[in-house]
Structure 1
């Protein structure tokens, strides 16, 4: 399946702003870290990914593929996070789009968490959960396709 990784690099933000975002979403990150540590006993591996501002837990042993982001922690069932995936709109048959990088999609969720902190999960669930209707998923797909637009309320 051909796909393009955007290779987008985050714009340089002051370290203080990044630190505040990571602190703001710390409760979410701690939940992800707990799940990651549990996964270690079942073969998962952890690695800090500075580009994505996240601790990536690869080979996550549960689930039927894909990834889940909790704060600055990404739980991924595969060996590599930079793998091709289709956008939600493509999978739902709304339009034809090329495959994108799962790493880019999940990086958008990390940014969303850092901006919204503990408000992310309730807002995400109120927006429809894991579906094409969810503005958070559409924004993450937009970021993975174009390198901008990760904010869920942007056009």
Structure 2
């Protein structure tokens, strides 16, 4: 937020705070899962870059990461690892690999806008698949740093 006026910075922080409150029910689900993972060796840390509480070395699942509100559950060491986009994995195009944390940060932003509506909408849009506009938007954001909201860009 370098270069923004103090009133704009304050306004952005206020919106982030409202988004954090709006998605709190989702974050509590992530927190409960993360704490359960701590019993099996997961470690928690706050990631300012990703705007989330991250549980690394989360012991369950096929690998990678999943976001609940402002909580990211990740099976690896940190979110700096690179991964393929959904479209690349599906063979629709060739993309460079993206930082996993950038993809998950887009989901944090999506949760902050939709709050408790995010999970039902996400599932209605196709769940974890290349068809899901939330996943394509998260990939677009990870590729370019812009466009984390689903839609045409």
Give yes or no for TM over 0.5.
yes
Corresponding residue number in structure 1 for 2:73 = 75
Give the CA RMSD over aligned residues: 1.5
Pick aligned residue for 1:108 from 106, 109, 112: 106
Q: Could you state the TM-score of these two structures normalised by the residue count of structure 1?
A: 0.91
Shift of 1:113: 0.2
Count of aligned residue pairs for this structure pair: 146
> Which has more radius of gyration?
2
Higher RCO, 1 vs 2 (CA within 8 Å, ≥6 residues apart): 1
* Residues 1-150 of structure 1: pairs in structure 2 closer than 5 A: 14-150=12-148
Counterpart Cα distance in 2 of 1:70 and 1:151: 17
Partner secondary structure for residue 14 of structure 1: helix
How far does the alpha carbon of each residue in 1:34-55 deviate from its partner, in whole angstroms, 9 at most, with x for none?
Answer: 0000000000000011121100
Counterpart Cα distance in 1 of 2:80 and 2:13: 25
Shift of 1:83: 0.4
Runs of 4+ in 1 over 4 A off after TM superposition: none
Shift of 1:154: 4.1
Gaps of 5+ in 2: none
Shift of 1:153: 2.6
Q: Could you state the TM-score of these two structures normalised by the residue count of structure 2?
A: 0.92
